[in-house]
Every structure is written in C-alpha cells, then in structure tokens.
C-alpha cells in the first residue's frame, strides 16, 4: 500500500510539472478557435452530431483532423468549451480544423449502433455502415466546410482507432493521412474475449457498449460503475472476493442484464464462428490509398493484438498506404499522455517519450501530408526495446534471425538441453477454481484491471503451489527476443477442460545496484518483471471454431502463440517461465468439468482438478541479432 501511495504521489508530481509547463505556454487555444455544432446527414437520412473547432483567422485555409468516436464529442453546446481540442498542443498551435463526431447510434447522433459493424456496403452497395458514414462526412466537408484546404487526416485511440482505419478504408480522395492509435481489430482476440476466455475485468464496461439507447442524448444512458455494483460514494468492493463469491458467469445477471445486446452477442458467439469472423476487420484493410501510421505500446494489454495485426495486414495488402509503425513501451493510450518520466508500475522506461513522439513524429507527419510542409516522413518501423529501454528503427517489421528452444528440466530449470529421459515425466499442480491464482498482488483497486499489471513483479505468484516456475541459469550475454514466442505445452488433466497461461518473466540480478530512477521502497533486486503472457481456453486447442474436451488423464498438445515482443534480457539476468491455470479476476474461471456453455455454468459445475505439465513441453523464442 505504501508503494502505491508513493507511486501515486510521483505521478501527481509529474502531472503537476506538465501542467506547470503548459501554464508557462502563453498560447491560449480558446482565443484562436471558434466552435460550431452541426448535424451531417448521411445517405440514408440519418444525421450525425458533429462538433467543429475552426481557427478564427479566416484569411487562411486549413486541413481537417477528424475523430469519429462512440465516447461522445462532449461538451455539448456552443457556450461550453473543453479543456483541450486535441492531445497535441503543437498541432493546435499550427492551425487545423478539429472535428469530433458522434458515430451512428451514440450520444447526440441518430441511428442504431452496432459494435465493430461489418462493412456491409462492400457486399451490397445499398447498405450503410461506418465506411459509408465516413465517406458521407468527408463529402459534406468538401461541399460546405469553410476555410478547408481539401486535405484531411483522421486520428483516434482504441475504438476511435478502429474508426480511424475504417475511415482510411473508405478511400475518400480528401483523406491524405491517418494515425490509428491502439486500434481495435477483432473483438474475439482482444479486449472482451481472448482466445476463448472472457476478460472478466471488462464486465463493468460491457453495459457501455450494449445498453440500448432510446434516443439521441447528451447524458449517459448506460449505468455507471457504482450503479453496476450497487455502490455509492467512495465505497469499493474487494475486487477478487466480489468475483470469487459469484464464481460463474451466469451469476452476473444483476450486473449485465439480458437486454444488453453486446453481452448477448458475447454469450451467443463463444466460438470463432461466421458472426465473429465477419467482424475481423484486418481482412478488409486492402488497397487503402491514404497514408497510414499505426501507433501503440508493447505493454498495451487491451489492443496489442489489433496494433500488430492491422499494421501487418495493411503493410502487406495496401502498398499505397506506406504503412508506418511506432511501438513504444506504453500501455493503452499512453503515447499521448505527455509524461515527463514514463513509469508503468515499478518500471521506468525513459523521459519525454510521449512528448517526443507528439513533437517529432505525429506533428511532422500531419504537417507534411496535410499541408505539404517539411520533409516526407521516412517509411519505417520504429520499435522500443523494453529491456534495453531504447528505440530502434527498421525499414520493415523485422523477422527473427533464428529461434532458440527451451525445455523444462529437473529442479524446475529452463534449459536448451533436450535430454529428457522419458516423455512421460511431468510436473503437476492442483487447479482450484475456488482459490484461483490472482493476476496481481495489488489490493487497492476495483473495477478495471490496473494497467501496470503487465510489468508487475511476479514473486507473489512464484510462491504459490499452483504456479509452476522454471528459470534459466544466469545469462552470460544479452539475449534479444523480437517476434512471436510459441509455447507447446504437453498437458493432461483429471477432468475434461482447463485454461492455460504461460508467462514470460525477466528476473533481475539479486545483487542489482540501486538506480536513481527506482521508485522509493520498491525492491528491484531479484525483481521478476512480467514481460508477456499467453493464454488459451484448453477446449480450443485444436482451433477456435469448435470446443473439444480433454480426455481425462490423457496427454494432449496445447499450442499457444504469445503476442510479439521486443525485449532484451540483459547479461546477468535470468529468463523465467510460469505456467498456471487461472489469472483471476482478469479472466473468467474454467469449471474444469466440460460444459457446453460456460456462460450458463453454475457453481455446482466447478471442480478441483490435478493438471500435469510434461517435460516434453517447449518454448520457442525468436532471436534477434544485430
């Protein structure tokens, strides 16, 4: 608790320093921009609420920067102004027409909302969708927007990041460049669902996406977090105990009711069926003509999947997009925070990473493509090594130069030696859904999971008997991992179903000297930093289209692909692997008895099981060398 308070104080001080820096900036955007609100009519007659902030200097023409969002273009009303109109004050100074639009069916816009709505218009020209809404919006700009130079950019983070790539895909000729930050791409493999698991920590925000909206409104129509839990004021539940007491997903009808269309869709489409596949948006990012930059962070536990997959698909299938990628050490959306010092949890990554990105990459990117100012940005990939804590620039996303395979040896060692006396040798542990492994040691939090868990010290988990821990010898030289880690786990269970989690951990030297940037009272000697975690609901080991039970006590191969990583395990560090069957309440629990519908399972369906991890299991690391 003390460490959390100290960390919070450090963040407050950093925020204050940022505010002080801005306070010394004499530029007041409110003196240079004017606000207007309009309803732009789409081709089917639906009108979308659109807020426009235009420079008051009408002697010049300006490009448009559009953000389309389901999260509101607040504040509403011509007499109310936001604290800022864009996250990058450098761009506000340079002069743009900033536009924020409520997407169809959200807030003050008309129509019906559908999550990551498929591009129906690609299959039927009479249909409307987010592609046609984007196109129609830019058509309105071309015909009606004053002092517009005819060049437009689009930007957004997370769900608006998806809207950004959708707008690029509509290929309106006025769209010259977009920056999609942490874009959602496929809800089956990110955010609410992950490889067959349900992200239980997202339950508080399901209603935000699925509560029916009766009519356009400037007030939230979905229940807020305190209402969801029947709480008021500062009262907080014990997050772990709140979910453990209910245990089964069927016991949350008072939190998310049957009228919630998003929750209903999640429950009705548990496999990767045609409904889910139709909403995999990476497959549609072909032949994009606008310049595209994808931005995100290696520590984004929400949408790293979307960041990587959208960029790679665009790079391969849209050559005119000149796709660029910037991947920092950031968590979700942190590339635009403007920190002076960037910490994620206990881990320090560097100074001014966000500020430098906004000033040196984002600003010149839009200045060149929308105003023809400056030099053409290089078409490249800029990646942050989260171990060395330094940037590297590549011409393209680098392929691993070789792979290195590690096995589970005696005495819980992780070794390259495949000298296994018998394929039937194994380690075992008891998986108890009534006493699941917590995903964090942090106690003072509630609702959504703290973003810092992705770098958290795993010593709390190493002490549990239901977490298998394997460690290499001390590294004699740096080892850089760049790409997809693959885990092949030979597994059996006494029941018929199980979840598997494989964690990649950087173990610091036990004699590590204190660094001036270490947070006060945080013990970094022997620190076990989580670097990446992979997971799968075991029934989907043969594919996500259909669940298949395990045969009790019969060995089966479970393959996991962990999301890409760029991390150097430094000399004198160790690599650690942890294998477990729950990370609670980050994810829902597996009953371990096979039930066709886990969302309908009851407490009585949950049982304790004994799992075996065979020594023939292996982990393949993609190795990068200069």
Please write the tens of the pLDDT for every residue from 292-351.
999 999 999 999 999 999 999 999 999 999 999 999 999 999 999 998 999 999 999 999
pLDDT given for residue 444 in this prediction: 67
pLDDT given for residue 12 in this prediction: 33
pLDDT given for residue 14 in this prediction: 38
Reported residue count of the chain is: 626
Residue 443: how many CB atoms within 10 A of its CB? 12
* Distance of alpha carbon 173 from alpha carbon 156, whole angstroms: 20
Q: b/e map of 592-616 (b: 16 or more CB within 10 Å)?
A: bbbbeebbebeeebbeebebbbbbb
* 263 neighbors 206 (Cβ within 8 angstroms): yes
Instruction: Give Cβ neighbours of residue 499 (< 8 Å, ≥ 6 apart).
Output: 197, 535, 536, 537, 538, 581, 582, 587, 589, 590
Summarize pLDDT for 502-529 with one digit per residue, the tens: 999 999 999 999 999 999 999 999 999 9
Expressed in percent and rounded to 5, the helix, strand and coil fractions of the chain are 25, 25, 45
pLDDT given for residue 228 in this prediction: 66
Which tokens go with 305?
Answer: 């999947």
Beta strand pairing call for 479-483 and 565-569: antiparallel
| SS3 of residue 357 by DSSP | helix
Q: What is the block-wise mean pLDDT of the chain (626 residues), using blocks of 10 residues?
A: 36 38 63 97 98 98 98 97 96 98 98 97 97 98 98 98 98 98 97 96 90 95 74 70 93 87 96 98 97 98 97 98 98 94 97 97 98 92 98 93 90 82 85 97 74 96 97 97 97 98 98 95 96 98 98 98 98 98 97 98 98 96 93
* Distance of alpha carbon 276 from alpha carbon 349, whole angstroms: 37
pLDDT given for residue 399 in this prediction: 87
CA angle, corner 249, sides to 245 and 255, nearest 5?
Answer: 80
* Distance of alpha carbon 447 from alpha carbon 236, whole angstroms: 9
pTM of the model: 0.94
Residue 585, preceding peptide bond in cis (omega within 30° of 0): yes
For residue 332, the Cα-to-chain-centroid distance in whole angstroms is: 6
Laid out side by side, the sheet with 33-41 consists of: 33-41, 47-55, 97-102, 62-69, 148-157, 175-181, 291-297, 324-328, 381-385, 390-394
* Distance of alpha carbon 154 from alpha carbon 161, whole angstroms: 9
Q: Write the DSSP string, 481-539.
A: EEE--EEEEEEEESSS--EEEEEEEEEPPTTPPP-TTSPTT---TT-EEEEEEEEEEGG
């Amino acid at each position: 608790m003390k460490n959390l308070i100290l960390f919070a104080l450090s963040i407050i001080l950093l925020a204050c320093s940022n505010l002080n820096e801005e306070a010394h900036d004499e530029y007041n955007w409110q003196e240079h921009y004017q606000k207007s609100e309009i309803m732009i009519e789409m081709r089917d007659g639906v009108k979308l609420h659109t807020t426009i902030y235009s420079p008051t200097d009408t002697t010049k023409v300006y490009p448009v920067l559009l953000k389309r969002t389901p999260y509101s273009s607040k504040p509403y009303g011509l007499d109310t102004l936001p604290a800022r109109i864009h996250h990058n004050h450098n761009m506000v100074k340079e002069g743009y027409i900033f536009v924020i639009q409520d997407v169809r069916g959200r807030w003050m816009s008309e129509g019906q909302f559908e999550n990551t709505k498929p591009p129906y218009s690609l299959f039927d020209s009479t249909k409307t969708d987010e592609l046609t809404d984007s196109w129609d919006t830019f058509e309105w700009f071309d015909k009606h927007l004053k002092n517009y130079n005819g060049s437009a950019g689009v930007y957004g983070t997370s769900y608006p990041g998806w809207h950004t790539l959708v707008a690029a895909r509509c290929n309106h000729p006025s769209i010259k460049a977009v920056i999609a930050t942490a874009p959602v791409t496929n809800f089956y493999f990110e955010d609410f669902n992950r490889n067959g698991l349900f992200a239980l920590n997202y339950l508080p925000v399901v209603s935000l996406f699925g509560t029916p909206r009766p009519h356009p409104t400037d007030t939230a129509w979905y229940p807020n977090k305190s209402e969801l839990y029947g709480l008021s004021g500062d009262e907080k539940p014990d997050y772990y105990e709140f979910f453990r007491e209910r245990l089964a997903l069927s016991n949350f009808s008072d939190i998310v009711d049957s009228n919630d269309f998003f929750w209903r869709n999640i429950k009705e489409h548990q496999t990767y069926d045609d409904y889910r596949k139709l909403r995999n948006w990476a497959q549609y990012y072909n032949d994009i003509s606008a310049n595209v930059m994808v931005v995100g962070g290696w520590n984004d536990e929400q949408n790293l999947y979307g960041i990587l997959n959208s960029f790679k698909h665009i790079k391969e299938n849209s050559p005119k997009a000149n796709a660029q990628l910037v991947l920092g050490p950031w968590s979700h959306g942190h590339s635009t925070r403007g920190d002076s010092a960037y910490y994620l949890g206990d881990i320090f990554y560097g100074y001014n990473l966000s500020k430098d990105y906004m000033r040196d990459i984002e600003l010149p990117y839009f200045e060149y493509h929308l105003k023809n100012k400056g030099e053409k940005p290089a078409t490249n990939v800029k990646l942050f090594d989260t171990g060395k804590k330094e940037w590297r620039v590549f011409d393209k996303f680098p392929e691993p130069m070789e792979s290195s395979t590690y096995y589970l040896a005696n005495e819980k060692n992780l070794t390259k030696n495949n000298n296994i006396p018998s394929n039937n040798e194994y380690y075992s542990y008891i998986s108890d859904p009534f006493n699941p492994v917590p995903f964090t040691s942090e106690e003072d939090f509630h609702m959504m999971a703290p973003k810092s868990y992705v770098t958290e010290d795993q010593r709390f988990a190493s002490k549990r008997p239901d977490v298998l821990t394997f460690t290499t010898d001390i590294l004699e030289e740096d080892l850089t991992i760049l790409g997809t880690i693959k885990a092949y786990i030979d597994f059996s269970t006494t029941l018929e179903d199980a979840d598997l989690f494989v964690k990649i951990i950087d173990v610091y030297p036990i004699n590590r000297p204190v660094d001036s940037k270490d947070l006060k009272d945080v013990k970094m000697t022997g620190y076990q930093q989580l670097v990446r975690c992979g997971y799968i609901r075991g029934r989907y080991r043969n594919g996500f289209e259909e669940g298949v039970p395990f045969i009790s006590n019969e060995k089966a191969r479970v393959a996991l692909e962990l999301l890409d990583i760029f991390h150097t395990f430094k000399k004198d560090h160790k690599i650690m692997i942890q294998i477990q069957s729950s990370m609670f309440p980050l994810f829902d629990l597996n009953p371990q008895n096979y039930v066709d519908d886990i969302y309908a399972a009851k407490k009585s369906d949950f049982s304790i099981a004994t799992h075996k991890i065979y020594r023939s299991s292996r982990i393949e690391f993609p190795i990068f060398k200069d």
